[in-house]
Amino acid sequence: MQVFAIRPEPGLSSTIAAGAARDLPIAGYPLSAVGPSGWTLPDLKAIDALLVGSANAIRFGGEKLESLLHLPVLAVGEATANAARDAGFSVARIGTGGLQPLIDELGPTYHNLLRLAGEDHVPIELPDKMNLITRVIYRVQNIYISEDFAERLSNGGVVLLHSAGAAAHFASECDRLGLERGRIGLAAIGPRVLGMVGGGWRDARAAASPSDAELLALVQDMCQ
């Protein structure tokens, strides 16, 4: 069964390589592109940590990130943590199930966070006595499904979904083109992502935890 990845670069190449290491061929058809949005630094005097929900916030932060290198990073996952380390940051915490659980587990250590986020970011509930300043670092531009990709999807396969925005866009594109949902399987990196696509798919499952390793393990199971 053909497996498709639709995430933007550089994550797309990373996922394809990880699939190849598992003897799982993946065809890449990126349905979005990421670019900088332009942002301004807030007053940093009271900030005691950075909350980073995507490696894209590091990739597209630009020269202003140099002013933040003294602040510890609270990263949503390993990929984001690695991007932060590569940029010269010290990583204090790494989440395993999204930003909200990471916030819930912080305790009283941090009081004023600077969130580096994308234009479409998940709302967060803060505990008492915690403040959050958000700066939008990057934005995602959706791309239409090409004729070649549509033809391949019409023959069936499994599509990897790495974000809620990508999931909603993919489902919308399938409906726009009249592609039969019942021929397409979906493997999502988490339940929230899966919740964006609606029903009617041949198969639709979420990974046990939000990582490429778990997602690819799920896909291998779906392809058996």
Tell me how far apart the terminal alpha carbons of the chain are, to the nearest angstrom.
Answer: 9
CATH 3.40.50.10090-classified regions of the chain: 3-31+143-223, 35-140
Calculate the CA dihedral of residues 33, 157, 209, 73 and round it to 10 degrees.
Answer: -10
Report angle CA 97, 102, 105 to the nearest 5 degrees: 120
The values of phi and psi at residue 5, to 5°, are -115, 135
Work out the pLDDT band at 88, boundaries 50, 70, 90.
very high
pLDDT in tens, 35-57: 999 999 999 999 999 999 999 99
A 10 A CB-CB count for 18 gives 16
Res 203: pLDDT: 97
Res 108: pLDDT: 83
Res 82: pLDDT: 95
Please provide the CATH number assigned to the domain covering 3-31+143-223. 3.40.50.10090
Of 3.90.226.10, 3.40.50.300, 3.40.50.10090, 1.10.3720.10, the CATH number of 35-140 is 3.40.50.10090
Q: State yes or no: pLDDT of 122 exceeds 90.
A: no
pLDDT in tens, 168-220: 999 999 999 999 999 999 999 999 899 999 999 999 999 988 889 999 999 99
Q: CB under 8 Å, gap of 24 or more: what pairs does 10-17 form?
A: 10/59, 11/55, 11/79, 11/162, 14/212, 15/160, 15/162, 15/212, 15/216
pLDDT in tens, 132-155: 999 999 999 999 999 999 999 999
Res 176: pLDDT: 97
